Structure 1
């Protein structure tokens, strides 16, 4: 793109009266006819141009002002060029701003203009332009032009480093920060902590945090976020409870950390603590509420989820797309698909996430035909499905035996919606065919996959062999699984053992169990939850820690006597 030429400037200023610039100003541009340009009869004072630019006009008016600057030969005025750059960046015309920057009237723009240009590019994912500008700025020192990077320069360039694929550039910039003596600066330090947190390098994030002479809530929250994203919840909690001040974002970070690491009980405990916190006096934001509803969904905690829903309604909190999606998911997973449907039907214009949550909820309840109805409505409303939507539809078809419909969706997902089948989609399709008894066809699909089948797909096929008592194919699948270094008794061999048991082949069952025992493979401990009177109780295999475990065992013994 070239800068405005004199001819284009002429054309832009020949406008109809309705295009005149007023922009809340008493000064306006009169329409200029062709014979008036380049006549000196019309002259806009430089101060008026500056005032108009200061008001950040929209694109059409900005082009007219730019044209007047060119016509009146003010393009060598640095202050007007600075204002133009700011205005173009304000309307996200980065290319136009960059051209003005490259043709700056002085030997170098001031550091302020360097900073706004670097900031414009630092927000773009994987963009190298901010680094190109930063290198150019550093090289000015060799050209005897003294424009040095300041606190804001380093803040913006470190932010750009956090959006790159590798931390290498960030480490290089960190060295320059240390050399400049700015590592302990609040803004630069916060950017460095956030960058290392993004790349899950928590040790370096803590070192920067520890060396900062001044910290604010963002410093603490960024460090908590880094630990949480890295699964180090103990360290995250340690930092969180040392925070002198916590805001709603701080609570959202720790709550989402627990949720992302599968610690759903802790999510609800954290929410309760948030409500009881006298010091912080903050209320849960959308992120906290969504995480709490997700935790209720995974725990099956209907009463807790109901309470959160009531809280949302009583406090007049807007049921955004995210909250509606979480409510649908929670009620569906807690067994109240009827309430989930009511919430879905109240949404004026459901988006892809609302549709996906409803389809998945119906599939959990084996309502495959209803799920397909919602899916067809989604297509009728021109809402394109995403990868998760297709997984929900395929699961619905699998649980309802809708082989033809599921096959059609799977085979056409790339042609109709541009979605390439991933390992999860193959897993759902294999499960669909296997449950319906099409074992040979399912095996063909697995062998023809463009992705290497994982252990989950082989187990889905093995599970189908158990359902349809196909011992020959089951033994063949075990050979494939052994090549993938399965995790032993917790996985495929247990399924094969169950297959032998269903056929009454107890000798094979004994052999498998003996081999599994000799390897002594440690599997994950089983865990289950139950909600009683609004309290979620957690039980594990051979649990001795529950406060009421003796009463539970006595009740189990009573039941065993009755059943036997």
Structure 2
């Protein structure tokens, strides 16, 4: 850019500046040149040109330099919908959704990209209900048409919330509207149905696709794996290979997860150790995490530990926590204590999750002095536990429950129903409270009370109150379902003749007639 300051050189016009600034937006290493170009724009008095201003604004937002972007925006004498959308996009990408929303509300006009940017921002920020609310608002805007980006984001929001009714509505909307059904939309539909607990619908969408790309195959494989259908996932994977589709690293993650959740140790190990020879994919740390989880769940803790120690890449905290989680499942205190030392050495400021798992392990075997020690350590390093939270959709409305919730407007009625449910399944002999993981040395009665108000139990009680007899109840939970709730859900499904689908942090549990799809392997 320095050549522009030499004498006798022709000064670039506004079109040249627009082209140069756009080129500088394509790589982070070019941002300094872009800022130099901005200086030349000011020097040559092109800052008032809207196209030049839009290119500058886009460059600053792409690199999350929002101070520069806002300065350009504020100094532009003319702004169009592209100008406003660029700034909204920048703030949304940075996670400043309040500022993005404030600007969005002030926009003189909006197009489909403006709506897509705002909806994508809420999905990216984990505010899925806000994303769905904006989609509903968009449908009332006669001046814009829903585009592919919006559909994909909305389906993602439905998937995260487990909002099957709204997801189905979007599917019908796609079929009836002029939106072109792309690979991205089909992949998002498969993902949405799988994550909403309707793996049958996901299969139906998948089977109707004549030409499938790797993303569609991967979405189907991951969905089956999430539902604990490891053998089905392997079958689809074999079919994919037979059709000449090369898997990518995400595909293999899905297959390995399926093997892990289904106890298919030999098959999972075979796939892992053939990743590079057969498909040219070098295992990344996430693949090693799947292998550790696969071996750990199967009780092969020493073998899993040896894999961790021999990894060609440095194991991170997530790897050690996966192994520690297996120690909790199989009550291996000795190895668990060794692992917590590794976690502390790796990241002294971020090993609270390890102490939570270790305290759960101590509680399961009744070592209350060590539980207290682990909790004191958690307090010293400032660990904040994520509260258990569950969501249930009833008549298209998402209801949220927290453990020991007292804020829901119908909480008294819900507590009464839950007490009735627990008493009934206990009297039938199908449920005995499991208090092993209560992290306090309380009386047995107090422990039973503590596990009674877990968020998924409140959600299922609400579902029993507000859905027709015989209809499925679908719940999404932010944490792993505990053993007590797992046992309770099996009993409720049997006594009340309901199918109960719970999606926890790692997989689906489908409870029917007193049994779970995980076969108690989770």
Q: Normalized against structure 2, the TM-score is what?
A: 0.77
Matched, 1:349 2:207: no
Deviation, structure 1 residue 174 = 1.0
Q: Distance in 2 between matches of 1:427 and 1:249?
A: 38
Partner in structure 2 of residue 154 of structure 1: 17
Alignment CA distance shift 1:434-1:301 (3 Å):
same
Match of 2:300 in 1: 438
**CA distance 1:515–1:148, shift in 2 (3 Å):** closer
| Structure 1 counterpart SS, 2:274 | helix
**1:175 corresponds to which of 33, 39, 42:** 39
> In structure 1, how many angstroms separate the alpha carbons of the residues matched to 2:415 and 2:71?
50
Partner residue of 1:538?
A: 400
The answer to whether the 8 A contact 1:487-1:521 is kept is: no
In structure 2, the residue corresponding to 1:528 is in which secondary structure? strand
For residue 263 of structure 1, report the CA deviation from its aligned partner: 1.1
More displaced 10-residue stretch of structure 1: 325-334 or 437-446: 437-446
Aligned to 1:314: 176
Specify which of 291, 303, 311 is matched with residue 153 of structure 2: 291
Cα separation, partners in 2 of 1:486 and 1:300, compared to 1, 3 Å: farther
1:366 partnered with 2:228: yes
Q: Higher mean Cα deviation, 319-328 or 512-521?
A: 512-521
Given that 2:352 and 2:378 are in contact with CA atoms closer than 8 Å, whether structure 1 keeps it comes out as: no
Q: Deviations over 1:137-163 (max 9, x none)?
A: x37x64x4x532001101011111111
C-alpha deviation, 1:551, in angstroms: 4.3
**Structure 1 length-normalised TM:** 0.71
Tell me the residue number matched to 2:100.
Answer: 236
The answer to whether structure 1 residue 208 and structure 2 residue 83 are counterparts is no
More relative contact order in 1 or in 2 (CA 8 Å, sep 6+)? 2
Deviates more, 1:487-496 or 1:179-188: 487-496
State the shift of 1:556 in Å: 4.5
Equivalent residues of 2:146, 2:179 under 8 A apart = no
Uncovered stretches (5+) of structure 1, i.e. residues with no partner: 1-133
Look up the SS of the partner of 2:339 in the other structure.
helix
The one-character-per-residue Cα deviations of 1:48-107 (angstroms, maximum 9, x if unpaired) are: xxxxxxxxxxxxxxxxxxxxxxxxxxxxxxxxxxxxxxxxxxxxxxxxxxxxxxxxxxxx
Q: How far apart in 2 are the matches of 1:382 and 1:231?
A: 40
- CA distance in 2: counterparts of 1:225 and 1:421, whole angstroms: 34
Q: Retained in 2: the 8 A contact 1:455–1:486? A: no
State the SS of the aligned residue for 1:491: helix
Equivalent-residue separation in structure 2 for 1:545 and 1:378 (angstroms): 48
Distance 1:182 1:555, change over 3 A: farther
RMSD of equivalent CA atoms: 2.2
**Which residues in structure 2 correspond to 1:133-282 (within 5 Å)?**
138=4, 142=7, 144=8, 147-166=10-29, 167-277=31-141, 281-282=143-144
The answer to whether structure 1 residue 406 and structure 2 residue 234 are counterparts is no
In the TM superposition, residue 384 of structure 1 has moved relative to its aligned partner by: 1.2
How many pairs align?
A: 425
Larger Rg belongs to: 1
Give a deviation string over 1:498-523, Cα, whole Å, max 9, x none.
Answer: 22233333332233234434555333
User: How many Å separate the matches in 1 of 2:397 and 2:413?
Assistant: 17
Q: 1:486·1:492 contact (CA, 8 Å) conserved in 2?
A: no
CA contact (8 A) 1:397 1:406 kept: yes
CA distance in 1, matches of 2:17, 2:411: 58
Distance 1:148 1:328 in 2: 54
Would the aligned equivalents of 2:349 and 2:381 in 1 still touch at CA under 8 Å?
no
Aligned with residue 528 of structure 1, among 366, 390, 393: 390
Distance 1:155 1:303, change over 3 A: same
Aligned to 2:250: 388
SS in 2 for 1:349: coil
Q: Output the CA distance in 2 between the equivalents of 1:248 and 1:435.
A: 47
Q: 2:196 aligns with which of 329, 334, 355?
A: 334
Residue 204 of structure 2 aligns to a residue in which SS?
helix
Is this contact kept in 1: 2:147–2:179, CA < 8 A? Answer: no
| SS of residue in 1 equivalent to 2:106 | coil
Deviation per residue, 1:287-318 (Å, 9 max, x gap): 11111111111101110101111111122533
